[in-house]
Amino acid sequence: MLTHRNANIALFVILGTLLLVQYQWHSIPWWLFVLLPLPYVSLVAWGACTIESNFFMPVVCAADTTEKVVAITFDDGPQLKHTPQILDILQQQQVPAAFFCIGKNIPDNEVLLQRIHEDGHVIGNHSYSHHFWFDMFGAKQMLAELKSVDDTVENVIGKRPRLFRPPYGVTNPNLRRAVQRGKYIPVGWNIRSLDTIAKQPEEVLQRITPFIKPGAVILLHDSMEVTLQALPALIAHIRKEGYRIERIDKLLNIPAYA
């Protein structure tokens, strides 16, 4: 498996070999040493932005199964504008889901968070601030954010989330350290709806339905109107194809709370 550690080892081996050749025969042009880091930088950028790559740390993105079962997940709530309506649809259709919540959205929405829990859905950690520069935080600051979410959630439902989804799906060494210290289980996805940029519900469905397969984890956002519009048709399609929708902790066989 290609990981950050393996990439570092490969870089140092190649660089060491080039330096040895240069020392012995003086035959390597200087510009080769300048260009050498470029593929490495590109690889690191790809690994940081591709959550299912497991480049910096293991992230569970799907279940290894042949059974026709999938999980639906929502990020960025709870929000009064759309989360209640999404919960209504899930309740009517008897569909369990996971909500990866932003901590700062919970104050003044405690009743809504309590409803998510009482309706039988999983509540996960999606950082406290979901700050644009979250990926640039140090490990200590990242961990403080995650623990703030845990404290806030525990004050409402009496349980501390163990499942964590990185903001923007970006991973790096600092996040790995924070996750390890906090003993979280990082959870990603393998079907991304891009509902945050879609204009019509049909676009959301087109991003999801062709890629549904056993063990899939679907990423949606309960902050988007287009997601609310697409959800009933998505549930109907999944069931029409003979799939069962399961709660993510059961699908992945991992504990939802500490």
Q: Among this protein's residues, is 151 annotated catalytic?
A: no
Please tell me the distance from the alpha carbon of residue 43 to that of residue 9, in angstroms, as a whole number.
13
Strands 69-75 and 217-221: parallel
Beta-bridged to residue 245, according to DSSP, are 70
Query: Which candidate in 75, 150, 222, 249 is catalytic?
Result: 75
Is 130 annotated as catalytic?
no
Catalytic residue, chosen from 76, 221, 222, 249, is 221
Cβ distance 210 to 223 under 8 Å? Answer: no
Q: Which residues are catalytic?
A: 75, 221
